[in-house]
Amino acid sequence: MTKLLGSVMALTLLTATGCGLMGGGPRKHAPSAEEWHPPTEMIEKYADKDGIVTRAALEAGLHTDFAKADGNHDGCLDESEVRAINEQRWKVDASTASPLIDFKHNGCVDFEEFAATPRSLFDQLDRNGDGKLTPAELHPGRQPSSNASPGGS
């Protein structure tokens, strides 16, 4: 009987330790040293010197980026062109990357598919519908820089 009681106690102790009950709560993972990339990075590159992204600047930038990616200039990104863009996005943005996908299932990614995610993000962030994103709209919750002058310049 003593052996059985000892075995039960040992099993209970091992189970409690494995579940974190005796270790002071759940184990904490070490913080990641990797930099976090906000999804707004995909449209911030079209900002002017004041950090404002207009709808017109977004569209112009997307057309320029699409033309650069469309190596054979046929108005549609083929599998190899899409793969190159997606690999680059993954290198830069890791898990926050938004891959290009042939949603129309026509064998290529056209400009509308290419521009869909940045346009959607722009529309979500442009809550007042004025066609421009200020730094505050691009980064809600971010505190203004302490070295910014009171006048905004």
Query: Widest CA span of the chain, in angstroms?
Result: 83
pLDDT at 124: 92
Q: What gap in Å lies between CA 92 and CA 88, rounded to an integer?
A: 6
Residues 133/45, Cβ–Cβ less than 8 Å: no
Return phi, psi of residue 79, to 5°. -55, -45
| DSSP codes, 86-126 | HHHHHHHHGGG------TT-SSSEEHHHHHHHHHHHHHHH-
Single-letter amino acid code for the residue at 117? T
What's the fold here for domain 41-138? Recoverin; domain 1 (1.10.238)
Q: What gap in Å lies between CA 146 and CA 3, rounded to an integer?
A: 68
pLDDT at 31: 47
pLDDT at 26: 53
Structure tokens at 139: 């980064």
> What is the reported pTM?
0.67
pLDDT at 20: 46
Tens digits of pLDDT across the chain (153 residues): 555 445 444 444 444 444 444 445 555 544 454 555 566 778 889 999 999 999 999 999 999 999 999 999 999 999 999 999 999 888 877 767 788 999 999 999 999 999 999 999 999 999 899 999 999 888 877 666 655 544 444
pLDDT at 42: 81
pLDDT at 87: 92
